[in-house]
Amino acid sequence: MLERSPVFIISVRVLGNHGGDDISAELSENAEASVASGPVLQFKLSDIGEGIMEVTVKEWYVKEGDRVSQFDSICEVQSDKASVTITSRYDGVIRKLYYDVDAVAHVGSPLVDIETDKALEGDPEEDVVETPAISYNQSHKKNQATPAVRRLAMENNIKLSEVVGTGKDGRILKEDIISFLAKQTGAILPYEVQKIPTPVISTAETPPKEETPIMAPLAIPRHIFSGKDRTEPLNGFQKAMVKTMSAALKIPHFGYCDEVDLTQLVRLRSELKDMAESRGVKLSYMPFFIKASHNIGLAMDTPQGLLVPNVKSVQALSVFDIAVELNRLQTLGSAGQLGTADLTGGTFTLSNIGSFPKNPHLPYLRRTAEQETRTTSKEQETLTHVVVWNNMRIGGTYAKPVILPPEVAIGALGKIQVLPRFNSRDEIVKAYIMNVSWSADHRVVDGATMSRFSNLWRSYLENPAAMVLELK
């Protein structure tokens, strides 16, 4: 017997808040919901405790027309520094929300209307606090289980009353159904510890050895492919990338590749590295590559994606200055603090790809507060040296990088490899070789110019002493 007569609602009603177009969508979405033909019950806001009579509704987790199961969260309310999650007592469909966000709700007043699935047993009181299992009248024993568990039991022809529940208040959990099944079929399930038979002999003065756990053979987890593609909205960074790349591909690219012998530079850098470090600056090869050019952008992988901040007026900076600036940009980049001035205005871009094999996932690790302080410079190096042209690979290799508008050229630097080469005396020597692939805007840059630039750039790097002599 219901204390209150249900509010009349037929499942197919004109939804005043929605436009006419939405009705058919609403109905088909809720095709399942429209089957709910039980009474519509007012679900009242229960006593929160501590004599509180009013709360503020802060967030709704459901909207009208949504299907809810017993124990699903309905809304979040706040009172006096306490945030309270209100959960549903019934399975059914939400038919009405009584409050807007930020409205004040009164304890004891209706919060939502729920159209239940079928007639309920017992008294639909509004309190959500569970009574302990022992107080249930045995003859009216209602086995507690979520709809999913009930379905599982039904599919396996199991009577809930025969299953021992190990959840809170004797609630029957999925695990309980599974172990019930196991007992029935004698199957060995993963993660079940085999019981050691009770020891016959016990000469125990010493305490019994701790049971060595026997691990049942682990079931190989089967990945179930649902075969469904997932559509995800583009985040802001991806949108920016799409915009930039769409503009980039309107530029007629031509490519030019070359090989640079960095043997002398490797030697020079190893000599200068410690000096720079004593001044707190990490000296990679990049400052040299950059000094050999002009206003230059540097493709950098960050936790959010590819960013290209640039080092300005390189001609006025020493190699050390450039290294300082690079360190600064790397720090800002990984902390997500680069401004628009850092991100635009480059003349061309250098992209350093996979020069050292490192964990490509390092930039994507979330760091806890304590780990933040443990970031080593090694990790920062990885951040600059991994290029993410994930979606924009052309031809399967990195030999044709894409120009970033409005720049006119880009260089992709490959790995530094140790290879045998002939020197001027026709002897085979060990050389440090790096490949560079340039792309240039053919409307603005012709082949000869590109070639001249690349040769000059290469000559500075192959003979670093010339850089010291000539570059301001």
Partner 1 sequence: MILRLSNRACVLSGSARLKSTLSTYFDEMGKAGIILKSASAGIFENLALEDWIHDHVDLQNRSILLLWRNSPVVVIGRHQNPWQECNLPLMRRLGIPLARRRSGGGTVFHDFGNINMTFFTSKKKYDRHRNLKVVTSALKALRPDLDVTATDRFDILLNGHHKISGTAAKLGRTSAYHHCTLLCSVDRSILSSVLKSNTSEVIRSNATLSVPSPVKNLSDVDPTLDADTIMEAIASQFNNEFGFDSPVITVDPAHEALMPGIHKMTNDIQMWEWIYGKTPKFSVCTSLVVDDVNIKLDMDIKSGTVEKCVVEIPEDWLPPETVNEFTSALNGSKYCPNEAAVLVAAFMRTRSMSADVAGKIHRLCEGVLSVM
Among 125, 169, 277, 446, indicate the residue that binds partner 1 (CB under 8 A): 169
Which of 67, 61, 60, 62 shows the shortest CA–CA distance to 11? Answer: 67
Smallest distance from partner 1 to CB 370, Å: 5
Does position 179 interact with partner 1 (CB under 8 A)? The reply is no
Q: Select the residue interacting with partner 1 from 161, 206, 368, 424 (CB under 8 A).
A: 368
* Residue whose token pair is 């560079």: 436
Tell which one of 63, 81, 228, 230 touches partner 1 (CB under 8 A). Answer: 81
Q: Please give the C-alpha separations between residue 342 and each of 25, 318, 333, in angstroms, as whole numbers.
A: 47, 19, 10
Asked if residues 324 and 335 have their Cβ atoms less than 8 Å apart, the reply is no
- Total chain residues near partner 1 (CB under 8 A): 64
Contacts of 360 (CB under 8 A, 6+ apart): 386
| CA 391 to the chain's CA centroid | 18
Kindly state the helix (H) or strand (E) to which residue 271 belongs, with its residue range: helix 263-278
So which residues are the catalytic ones? 442, 446
CB of 31 or CB of 220, closer to partner 1: 220
Distance CA 378, CA 155 (A): 55
Pull the structure tokens for residue 67.
């299907």
Alpha-carbon gap, residue 247 to 297, rounded angstroms = 18
Q: Residues 106-145 vs partner 1: string with x where CB under 8 A? A: ----------------------xxx-x-------------
Supply the minimum distance, in Å, between the C-beta of residue 190 and partner 1: 9
- Indicate the residue among 76 and 462 with the shorter CB distance to partner 1: 76
1 binds partner 1 (CB under 8 A): no
If one asks whether residue 51 binds partner 1 (CB under 8 A), the answer comes out as: no
- Pick 270 or 375: Cβ nearer partner 1: 375
Length of the chain (residues) = 472
Q: Which of residues 380-419 bind partner 1 (CB under 8 A)?
A: 404-406
* 100 touching partner 1, by CB under 8 A: no
Q: With CA atoms as reference, report the closest residue to 42 among 126, 117, 104.
A: 126
- Choosing from 32, 205, 274, 372, the residue that interacts with partner 1 (CB under 8 A) is 372
Helix axis angle for 263-278 and 447-462, nearest 10°, is 60
Residue 49 sits in the site that holds partner 1 (CB under 8 A): yes
Pick one of 17, 138, 226, 337: the residue that binds partner 1 (CB under 8 A). 337
Q: Measured from the CB of residue 216, what is the shortest distance to partner 1 in angstroms?
A: 9
Nearest partner of 87 among 95, 77, 98, judged by Cα: 77
Kindly tell me which residue out of 53, 247, 429, 468 binds partner 1, with binding defined by CB under 8 A.
247
Q: Which is nearer to partner 1, 8 or 191 (CB)?
A: 191
Q: Is 369 in the site for partner 1 (CB under 8 A)?
A: yes
The distance of closest approach from Cβ of residue 394 to partner 1 in the complex, given in angstroms and rounded to an integer, is 19
Query: How far from 232 is each of 32, 228, 229, 238, 429, CA to CA, in Å?
Result: 26, 13, 10, 11, 53
Q: Does 83 bind partner 1 (CB under 8 A)?
A: yes
SS3 240: helix
Out of 11, 69, 87, 347, point to the residue binding partner 1 (CB under 8 A). Answer: 87
Count Cα atoms within 13 angstroms, Cβ side, for 205.
0
Question: Strand 348-352 vs strand 409-422: parallel, antiparallel, or unpaired?
Answer: parallel
Q: Does 58 bind partner 1 (CB under 8 A)?
A: yes
Q: Contact at 8 Å (CB) between 362 and 379?
A: yes
Which among 311, 291, 283 is positioned nearest to 299, based on CA atoms? 311
Q: Under the rule (CB under 8 A), what is the footprint of partner 1? A: 48-50, 58-59, 71, 76, 78-85, 87, 101-102, 128-130, 132, 168-169, 191-193, 210, 213, 215, 235-237, 239-241, 243-244, 246-247, 304-305, 307, 335-345, 366, 368-373, 404-406
